[in-house]
Structure 1
Amino acid sequence: NSFHSFFLSFIFYCLFLFLTLKKRRSIHANRAGTKGFRAPEIILRERYQTGAIDVWSAGVILLSVITGRYPFFLAGDDADAIVELASVFGFDSISELAEAKKLSIVTNLPLTHKRPPLEVLCKMLNEETIKSWSDHDYKEAISLLKMCLKVDSSERITAEEALKHPFLLSLDDEDVSIATVTKEGEQKQKSSPQQR
């Protein structure tokens, strides 16, 4: 199933995160992360960050795959990043998170106050590809996406929980392979770990 082949790399990324996060408890890094993949707590400069920032990044990767948009977030600075997050997750949720950190966000931009449904956003941005997926696969992918992209890091799924999500577990039984192209333009197949 072509739907699952997109997510093999996502699984390995999550597995890497899980193994890394078992060792890491809490980090003190105000400005960590790659632009476009930084969690709201990084953008709002939360002093102590946990492995939840990596789960957010994995969620952004999943969002990019589902929507067919990479990079999904393009902000050049923190102010733009807040506007982008508010556009996708609703101004109220970003504002509430900021208030909990004793910050306030003021804007004259007409942002949506409530979180628009992610399943609607994804279908709007990549309807043709999503039509080729089964309803079950799409619902499971959106379920995992919502859990990875909780604005409040304390509500976000952990890497260990993500690896146990039905969407990723369903890949255990799939015959998944990834096509790669060499420098010479030849196509090669790489098999999944189950096929080796």
Structure 2
Amino acid sequence: MHRQSRQTSVALQGSSSCEETAFQDRYEVLRTIGRGGFAEVQVARHLLTGAEVAVKVLRKVKQNLLVLSEPNVMMSLEHPNVIQLFQVIETHEHIYMAMEYAGGGELLKHIPTGGMQEEEARRIFRQIAGAVGYCHKNGIVHQDLNAQNIMLDAQGNSKLIDFGLSMRVTAGQKLRRSWGTLAYLAPEIILHREYEGPPADVWSLGVILFYMLTGKCPFRDIFHWELARRIVEGRYHIPDSVPPLARRLIRRMLSANPMKRPTAEQILQHPWLREGEEASPHQSSEPLPKRPDPAIMAALLDLGYNPYKTWMSLTSGKFDDAAAAYLILQHQISQGAGCVFKEKPAQPRVGPHPCPTDLSDGSVLPRRSTSEPALHTFRLPNDHALLREAKHSGQKDLRRATMPLTDLRLLLARTLVLCIAPLPALASQKPKCTSRGPPKAWKPVAGRSATCFCQLCCCVPCGKKEGTPVTGEEKLDRGRIRVAPE
């Protein structure tokens, strides 16, 4: 595994040494889990938190111009059934998208030969339809919905992925692009007619539901031209094993007339999907809370991040180092997974060359004015040995795979104790760690930090600025047609 990680790192580096500085100083590549015509997907470890993430690597070449807008689309999406974006790093040759890692694999691999159980299919499809409806409500059409682009996490919940072909649309806007997987394409796309994006996505949802309940696609043939003709003519057969209510829903979604297809919101109100809705866990379609978690902010402060700048990165949609650390920790805690911290974030190994360009301000430790007190981070005893070793070897970065890890719960508890400690008179001496309590010189800074947390939690305006709108989608098309086989 370690050998593969090194080989992948070299392959990503290519002809530019900037790749290692911009990306590998923050993530350690573990393995490659997917390759496609536009990108490569890897599993990597976030060096600060130790969490595993999925990293999509987009090459900045002319052939990929259509999919390079994917980061901007994902920056504006926050839904429990849409894969979560943590960080975006851009270099001269690549765009790295660090995202939530759904370890359950593709939905396709969870569909048995005869189809899924009705209750399980209903639960998962309800989540998928909710995610698609959320995208449509925010003016985004996916345009490549299929069983491979839906993942399951460790809890068995669906996650919509791969927004490389998605685009922003307005109500009633007509499209002419013919992209996607042939077996899931709507007939109007195959006929090269003008079409609306949401009804085309609904057709793909109908194919997915058919696949989930029967274990096979409604339209199948060896030859692509024959498959396309079956889709246009609407020739398919629903087995008798499919429940009657689900059969009616599939027929409505696979209607040849786009105007007769239901919207995603209407699909969620269908009687078949409403069965057992009260007994199932409630899945909120609202974005994540727009107020900072004091425990996470306190832990990030202990690691050297400025709380105010961290929250400004989150609210302004920068997806930089500080925002990535917060979002990853928030996701890990919400999933109930164990998190570990590197004891102190190291300065990025960025030399004087300005080659990589992060889509954020790129700073991990913000500059401090002369009037502000220094924020000291308490190190573990074996950190001093690492400091001496780094001093002799000339290394500036102490963030390595062998660095000891600190349990997140212990770090949060220790940091919160510092924040709620009473304020003594300001001391000028350097703080010293004792076993009885926090250093006295640290308490004034901790008190000010606690006040800062309270202000953030109570006074920060709600709402998140959306990412940069996707522009130029239709110009990039220029009449090109690509129909990928199933």
TM range (shorter): 0.5 to 0.7
Secondary structure (helix, strand or coil) at the match of 2:267 reads: helix
Query: Which residue of the partner structure matches residue 124 of structure 2?
Result: 9
**Higher normalized strand content (fraction of residues):** 2
Offset of 1:48 from its aligned partner?
Answer: 3.4
Amino acid at match of 1:66: L
Match 2:231 to one of 79, 85, 89: 85
Partner of residue 62, structure 1: 209
SS at match of 1:6: helix
Residues of 1 paired with 2:280 and 2:120: CA distance? 9
Structure-2 change in CA distance of 1:70 and 1:174 (3 Å): farther
Q: How far 1:7 sits from its partner (Å)?
A: 2.5
| Structure 1 pair 43–82 and aligned structure 2 pair: CA distance change class (3 A) | same
Is contact 2:219–2:227 with CA below 8 Å preserved after alignment?
A: no
Structure 1 gaps, min length 5: 91-115, 124-129, 177-196
Q: Find the counterpart in structure 2 of residue 96 from structure 1.
A: none
Aligned positions of 1:36-185 closer than 5 A: 36-70=183-217, 72-73=219-220, 77=224, 79-85=225-231, 89-90=234-235, 118=237, 121-123=238-240, 130=241, 138-175=243-280
Partner of 2:51: none
Structure 2 alignment gaps of length 5 or more: 1-116, 140-169, 282-486
Equivalent residue pairs, number: 134
Q: Which residue of 2 aligns with 1:20?
A: 135
Determine the C-alpha separation between the residues in 1 that align with 2:232 and 2:188: 14
**Contact between 2:220 and 2:227, CA under 8 Å: does it hold in 1?**
yes
* Greater Cα radius of gyration, structure 1 or 2: 2
The 2-side partners of 1:72 and 1:155 are apart by 20
CA shift, 1:148, in A, is 0.7
Cα separation, 2, equivalents of 1:159 and 1:73: 25
Deviation at 1:58, TM superposition (A): 0.6
| Structure-2 change in CA distance of 1:52 and 1:75 (3 Å) | farther
Q: Which residue of 2 aligns with 1:191?
A: none
Aligned partners of 1:75 and 1:84 also within 8 Å: no
Say if 1:159 and 1:175 are closer, same or farther in 2 by CA, change over 3 A: closer
State the TM-score, normalizing by the size of structure 2. Answer: 0.25
Structure 1 position 35 matched with structure 2 position 182: yes
Cα deviation digits, residues 5-53 of structure 1 (max 9, x gap): 1232211110011111112233524213222100111111122323001
The Cα shift of 1:175 comes to 5.0
RMSD over aligned CA atoms reads 2.7
Structure 2 distance, partners of 1:154, 1:80, is 25
Judging by fraction of residues, say which structure has more helix: 1
Q: Please say if residues 52 and 153 of structure 1, whose CA atoms lie closer than 8 Å, have aligned partners that are also in contact.
A: yes
